[in-house]
Amino acid sequence: MTYNELVTAIQDYTEYTFSTATINTFITQTEKRIHNAVQFPSLRKNVTGTIAPLTPYLSCPSDFLSPFSLAVISSTGDYTYLENKDVNYVREVYPQSSSSSTYGKPKCYALFGPQSNDAKELTFIVGPVPDVAYTMELHYYFYPESITTVAGGRTWLGDNMDMALLYGSLVEAYTYMKGEADLIGLYNTKYGESLIMAKRLGDGLQRQDAYRSGQARMEVT
């Protein structure tokens, strides 16, 4: 379902013509609800960077939401994945002393908090403090571009989970219209049913295969 098809469907169902800004709000709110309910692989991306020596801090990407994994890449291309810990643990186990004997290859990390130069962006803290510059690779969750702004009006969500996108937007639309409670309830039920299918895909089928997990079976009677 493209953006134009989604807008047309919402206005056909509600028999009401909304402003572009208003209908875009319905859609973007629904996208965020779905993205926070299901961890689709399409919500993951990766980035590489270098952490400076003698500093325990590593900046997060501007579109960062939550970590999937953080690894150190050696000069030969080997990956060493860091453990996700609490900031208190990193501070206590790997204190930032003036002695270089405590420095070394990072083994763990934690989400530290806002950057000192930009409170809107976050920072990682790693331990131990790097003794030299290390190449890091971060896989993380982010909000993909909305169907309301993406070129061509097509997104993975619109192509594959259009039912959840449509019914979630209808719930937002009827709430805005202060519509009848039974109709809002109906669309909310439909949204819930479509979200179950989305979770079956994103949190189930896309995280397993028949070789390791076996195929789904139903008892024959």
Query: How far is Cα 31 from Cα 29, in angstroms, rounded to an integer?
Result: 5
Q: What was the pLDDT predicted at 98?
A: 65
Q: Rounded to whole angstroms, how far apart are CA atoms 174 and 203?
A: 29
Q: What is the pLDDT of residue 212?
A: 80
Distance CA 47, CA 138 (A): 5
Pairing of strands 83-84, 108-115: parallel
Which of the residues in the chain have pLDDT under 70?
A: 98-101
For residue 82, the model assigns a pLDDT of 97
How buried is 21 (Cβ within 10 angstroms: 0-12 exposed, 13-18 middle, 19+ buried)?
A: exposed
Per-residue model confidence as pLDDT tens digits over 10-49: 999 999 999 999 999 999 999 999 999 988 888 899 999 9
pLDDT, residue 102, reads 79
What DSSP element (H or E) covers 110?
Answer: strand 108-115
Structure confidence at residue 210 (pLDDT): 78
DSSP labels for 185-219?
HHHHHHHHHHHHHHHHHHTTGGG--HHHH------
The pLDDT value recorded for residue 99 is 64
